[in-house]
Amino acid sequence: MTRDAWDAVWSSPVAHAFGAHHLPALRRLCILRDKFERARAAVDRAFMVKGSMDQVRVNPALQAMVALDSACLRLENELGLTPMSEARLGLTVGQAERTLEELNRAAREAGAADDEDPVADLLALQTGAVPEAT
């Protein structure tokens, strides 16, 4: 089950944005998801169980599921793995997949001429010289 969770994380639209510093949180998320699935399987097998005083009670694994689900959701939000957190982090699929080359091409197409030199323009302004219009 942990392997399935790991594969699901790495097949997400934002997976390419993860770096080595994300690995501890990603591992923790996968382990938590695995434990959640195991608790769910236990609840699926027996929703009601016998308590310590022979009373019938809800399976304690259900409480574990609630806590694990909450912990998973917090990590998913931090990592941008929910649609809302993805948008909040600015990691929409379209943005995350744009490469630097694509961004440069878009800037050129938007009118930024290759012969413009913003550094030279700033230096000219500092010295009082007026840069030539292009």
pLDDT in tens, the chain (134 residues): 678 888 888 888 788 888 889 999 999 999 999 999 999 999 999 999 999 999 999 999 999 999 999 999 999 999 888 888 877 776 554 554 555 566 667 767 776 555 566 556 556 655 666 555 55
Give backbone dihedrals phi and psi of 59, rounded to 5 degrees, phi first: -55, 125
Domain interval for residue 92: 2-97
Residue 81 lies in a domain: yes
Residue 103 lies in a domain: no
- What would you report as the CA-atom Rg of the chain, rounded to the nearest whole angstrom? 26
pTM: 0.61
How many Cα atoms within 13 Å fall on the side-chain side of residue 73? 7
Alpha helices for the chain (secondary structure H)? 2-10, 23-45, 60-79, 83-88, 93-96, 100-109, 118-127
Residue 51 lies in a domain: yes
Residue 124 lies in a domain: no
Residue 88 lies in a domain: yes
Residue 125 lies in a domain: no
Cβ(96)–Cβ(14) below 8 Å: yes
How confident is the prediction for the chain on average, in pLDDT? 80
Residue 71 lies in a domain: yes
How many domains does the chain contain in total?
A: 1
Long-range contacts of 17-24 (CB under 8 A, 24+ apart): 17/80, 17/91, 17/96, 18/79, 22/79
Residue 67 lies in a domain: yes
